[in-house]
């Protein structure tokens, strides 16, 4: 007989892996359509590589800044990424990706490690927060991010979300990790 205790870690692993893929694609697409995210990504040097992963897991995404100053998902890196955000445990990532704990709270609770320049890590988190504010319903986004942007109009939210979701869907239809 299969117990819920043996199934739960596998479900968390599958959910986190899916969410990291969606977040990676969403961030890459948001870097093409949202002006605020474009400005932040443009401050990273061309070729800059960022990774978000879970320790001892294959759940991850890797993105690189391309010559157009957009993030582009890549399959592997020949060298160590310039910035790696690592969750210490799959359950810690699950808490964040199921919106039970914000990214800021996860950092405060020492559930994540940033390996790289702190300024770059802050810039990446700012991009992630803006993307989440755009694509998530406001009630969920307020739980996911430290501070919901007050100046985000409904029109900007709907337009941004539609553009990001459309590009993410297209990236899945093309079957390619890079856009």
Helical H segments across the chain, by residue range: 4-33, 35-42, 90-97, 103-108, 118-135, 138-144, 154-174
State both tokens at 166: 């459309």
The predicted structure's pLDDT at residue 8:
83
Task: Please give the radius of gyration of the chain, using alpha carbons only, rounded to the nearest integer.
Answer: 16
Q: Are the C-beta atoms of 31 and 43 separated by less than 8 Å?
A: no
Distance, CA of 67 to CA of 81 (rounded, Å): 17
Is 139's pLDDT higher than 50?
A: yes
pLDDT tens per residue across span 86-137 = 999 999 999 999 988 888 889 899 999 999 999 999 999 999 999 999 999 9
Domains and CATH numbers, the chain: 4-166 (3.30.1050.10)
Q: What pTM, to 2 d.p., does this model score? A: 0.86
């Amino acid at each position: 007989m299969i117990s819920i205790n043996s199934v739960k870690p596998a479900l968390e692993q599958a959910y986190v892996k899916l969410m990291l893929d969606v977040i990676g694609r969403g961030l890459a697409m948001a870097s093409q359509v949202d002006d605020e995210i474009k400005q932040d990504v443009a401050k990273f040097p061309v070729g800059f590589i960022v990774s978000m992963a879970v320790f001892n897991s294959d759940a991850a995404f890797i993105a690189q800044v391309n010559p157009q100053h957009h993030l582009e998902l890549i399959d592997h890196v020949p060298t160590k990424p310039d910035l790696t955000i690592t969750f210490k445990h799959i359950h810690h990532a699950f808490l964040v990706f199921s919106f039970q704990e914000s990214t800021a709270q996860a950092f405060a609770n020492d559930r994540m490690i940033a390996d790289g320049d702190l300024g770059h890590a802050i810039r990446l988190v700012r991009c992630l927060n803006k993307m989440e504010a755009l694509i998530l319903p406001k009630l969920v986004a307020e739980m996911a991010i430290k501070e919901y942007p007050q100046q985000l109009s409904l029109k900007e939210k709907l337009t941004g979300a539609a553009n990001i979701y459309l590009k993410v869907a297209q990236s899945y239809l093309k079957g390619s990790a890079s856009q």
